Chain A
């Protein structure tokens, strides 16, 4: 449960207030959702309720916008977000096999988070490291030259680190 009295709410509220007097304040909904995701890491339902009430926008409309854009997370992200590059270079070098290995090993699909909350998996286009293809990025670290086997070992290293 997200506390509605905490500091983050204050920040969000003051952001909403800062756009309230602008022409077409509704059009700032996306910006407000960005702010909320920046604060919480995803868009909690309680927070969308708060936004609805403060901006006087129906929750259904907010839900429509939040689900339309891939950038918005509707579930809390894991401790580590794995971005797997599915750009052309990585793809021809076997990114799809790497992706399947991750999916099988973590038992999640793209856009999902493991049950233990440790890993989230999201697709990326080019990470600018084509020379190391296929690559994944965890936090801000690039891991390259991956194979279905080595990526599993890599994930296990992260998992050990957390224990």
Chain B
């Protein structure tokens, strides 16, 4: 049992666990000390000084995020003096920040803006020198705008500590400090995996997704173009948050209607493509097991993981499944199978993916994924962008009448739904691989060992008399830990799932910003989103990908069978090592 100690906050006595910081203790006692550079999942930076408090007996103000409590400590969080000091600190941050809130992408969603309001800053006292840097729009996924950066360092810590990529640093010093990739190189040429977690944790608009919504609105208004959308599983579990709903509301029935009202001619479901992915991936896995192929097989759905793998793990390229991601499979089917079905030239089709992901924008631009000489996916919009488009078009999303996705690429199984949660691809693959291999139906289909939010999860199952060992990691930092094991003990696992973002796609870099009373990537929020998808799976009458009648029809009419020549041509891809090579560096080692 943890020892309890007595502290006094604002003249009121409290008993709290020893070993907490002042900020943690105050949180427990109901005092939310303002903060900026602090994030509970990241190391303590103590850079912004917004969280200062007064402690009796101490001459200086104390950064509450970094200072531990002690028996009898008297803490003041809200005196006139500390309020003034805190307000001055935020004012100084604002003095080196553009005064363009009303034209900013984060207007209404900005932590700095909220903080300035809460501090009671109603006018600006100083007009000083202000930094100015070029906007970096080189990456198809992430835009870097140093002018908006307040140097809290959350992105740098996210990228190094949680993702293990180390694409960012705080370069130069003092007033000239800038968050940038090594050598100040364009983002697109750096080791950035485009996962977008820097966007998720950025309090301002210093990082944003590369926005293509103007071009999309143009296409939607062009009568000569057939616009087709597909929607990723995790979008439905999170988009409600952008409209003020609590996390975990499944908006599956509102989305098709909203997208049709935006002008899309067809609205398909990426979950259908996920079922298709499972058909190919489970078959590929069984083929590798039965014919002595390269094991462990590693999943290939996460585009940030793809780029990470090519830069950091070129030695594992043969282990990675050749299956395209569900998005790219879906787009490939749209521009081949479906185009033929409606007898339209695929060049007249504009294929749009609504994704929880920023890396999918990068994936869409990968040349080897082209179909018939053009991009399979023309534009990717994130959940955030889709929500903005719906608001911008004046649509009442929350009261949208329930509608269904279009046939034939809109019907999906529960297995396709859970792709959005860490462990979901593995679980879906197990459901199908088991039946393809043994001919029997797997009864206990909820594989609890690989559910949940542990960084690395393991499970095993019996397949035709053989023990199959599987492992799952989410967030690239956890992926490094798991792949370290794979490199050292190549025989330990047969099948490995890697997702680039915390919690899987539900924690993607394109998901709605944290609500005003929440923090980015809050685990409770991720759990609620995951539960929304698991519920969706449970209430589906079809829960195995191979039982999806539209998938069966697609094979019957077009692809013949999994791994057929046609399937290989349209649904599989290849990888190659790329520069710059990155080094795997454990920043938390001591």
Contact = CB atoms under 8 A, between A and B. Distances in A.
Interface of A: 45, 48-49, 52-53, 56-64, 67-68
B583 A60 contact: no
B169 interface: yes
A67 B583 contact: no
7 contacts: A56-B583, A57-B583, A58-B166, A58-B191, A60-B181, A61-B166, A68-B171
A68 B173 contact: yes
B169 A63 contact: yes
B172 A62 contact: no
Contact of B585 (A57, A67, A68): A57
B477 to A, nearest CB: 13
Contacts of A67: 171-173
Nearest to A55: B583
Interface in B374-416: none
A71 to B, nearest CB: 12
B93 to A, nearest CB: 21
B90 interface: no
B182 A68 contact: no
Contacts of A48: 182-183
A58 B156 CA distance: 12
A64 B170 contact: yes
Interface residues of B, number: 22
Contacts of B585: 56-58, 61
A30 to B, nearest CB: 14
Contacts of B171: 63-64, 67-68
Contacts of B173: 67-68
B580 interface: yes
B181 A58 contact: no
A59 B183 contact: yes
Contact of A58 (B170, B172, B184, B582): B582
Contacts of B580: 49, 59
Secondary structure type dominating chain B contacts? loop
A110 to B, nearest CB: 13
A68 B171 CA distance: 6
8 nearest CB pairs, A to B = A58-B166, A64-B169, A59-B182, A60-B169, A63-B182, A67-B171, A60-B182, A67-B172
Contacts of A63: 169, 171, 180-184
Contact of B172 (A49, A57, A68): A68
Nearest to A57: B585
B167 interface: yes
Nearest to A69: B173
Contacts of A56: 583-585
Output the residue of B171, B580, B583 with the most chain A CB within 10 A.
Answer: B583
Contacts of B258: none
Given A56-B585, A61-B166, 15 more contacts: A48-B182, A58-B160, A58-B182, A59-B183, A59-B191, A60-B166, A60-B168, A60-B169, A60-B181, A62-B182, A63-B181, A63-B182, A67-B171, A68-B171, A68-B173
A49 to B, nearest CB: 8
Contacts of B172: 67-68
Nearest to A54: B583
A151 B327 CA distance: 66
A103 B210 CA distance: 40
B559 to A, nearest CB: 43
A48 B160 CA distance: 19
Contact of B167 (A53, A60, A62): A60
Contacts of B181: 60, 63
Given A60-B181, A60-B182, A52 B169 contact: no
Contacts of B167: 60
Nearest to A68: B173
Interface in B134-187: 160, 166-173, 180-184
Contacts of A61: 166, 169, 585
A45 B184 CA distance: 11
B569 to A, nearest CB: 38
Interface string B180-209: 111110000011000000000000000000
A75 B180 CA distance: 18
A45 B583 contact: no
A56 to B, nearest CB: 5
A45 B183 contact: yes
Contacts of B168: 60
A31 B181 CA distance: 22
A48 B173 CA distance: 19
A48 to B, nearest CB: 8
A62 B166 CA distance: 11
Nearest to B168: A60
Contacts of A68: 171-173
Contacts of B160: 58
Nearest to A49: B580
A68 B583 CA distance: 22
A64 B184 CA distance: 10
A67 to B, nearest CB: 4
Contacts of B191: 58-60
Contacts of A59: 182-183, 191, 580, 583
Nearest to A45: B183
B341 to A, nearest CB: 48
B517 to A, nearest CB: 33
Contacts of A60: 166-169, 181-182, 190-191
A52 B190 CA distance: 14
A52 B180 CA distance: 17
Nearest to A70: B173
A43 B183 CA distance: 11
B184 to A, nearest CB: 8
A60 to B, nearest CB: 4
A58 B169 CA distance: 10
B480 to A, nearest CB: 12
Contacts of B184: 63
B265 to A, nearest CB: 44
A58 B583 contact: yes
A67 B178 CA distance: 10
A20 to B, nearest CB: 14
B182 A53 contact: no
A68 B170 CA distance: 9
Output the residue of A53, A58, A60, A62 with the most chain B CB within 10 A.
Answer: A60
Output the residue of A48, A49, A56, A59 with the most chain B CB within 10 A.
Answer: A59
A56 B170 CA distance: 19
Interface string B556-590: 00000000000000000000000011111100000
A61 B583 CA distance: 11
